[in-house]
Amino acid sequence: MGRRSRKRYKKVTRVIRKPPTRFQCPTCGLMTLSIGIDRSEDIAIISCSNQNCGLRATLRGIPKIYQEVDVYAKFLDKFTEGTIEVTYSRGSEYEVEG
């Protein structure tokens, strides 16, 4: 007489998701918006890598605890309100829109 075999369980591993590094540009609609944060000066530089769009903006007064996702949300709020100065660099020409 043998013993009942023990049931083997699979170990469940949780996938830890990282915050995104590329975001959707509000002008061209592509996932080409990148955000760089300068922690020493508390500014964030937002730029679209699409050659047809070329959106560029700078946010000042960013808190130290903000990550790229938080800066993107703040940028979208200010962009839809129209309270941020945005420049478009398509090739060699520059256009300023307030």
Which CATH number belongs to the domain containing residue 44 in this structure? 2.20.25.190
Among the residue ranges 39-43, 61-65, 86-90, the one predicted with the least confidence is: 86-90
Instruction: Report how many domains make up the chain.
Output: 1
Q: For residue 53, tell me if it sits in a domain.
A: yes
pTM confidence score? 0.76
Around Cβ 43, how many Cβ atoms within 10 Å? 15
Q: Do residues 42 and 64 touch, judged by C-beta distance below 8 A?
A: yes
In the block, residue with structure tokens 């703040």? 74
Q: What pLDDT band is residue 31 in, cutting at 50, 70 and 90?
A: very high
Q: For residue 8, tell me if it sits in a domain.
A: no
Q: For residue 13, tell me if it sits in a domain.
A: no
65 exposed, middle or buried (CB, 10 Å; 0-12, 13-18, 19+)?
exposed
Q: What pLDDT band is residue 97 in, cutting at 50, 70 and 90?
A: low
User: In the chain, where does DSSP find H-type helix?
Assistant: 68-81
Is 77 in a helix, a strand, or coil?
Answer: helix
Q: For residue 7, tell me if it sits in a domain.
A: no
Q: Do residues 56 and 26 touch, judged by C-beta distance below 8 A?
A: no
pLDDT score at 90 = 75
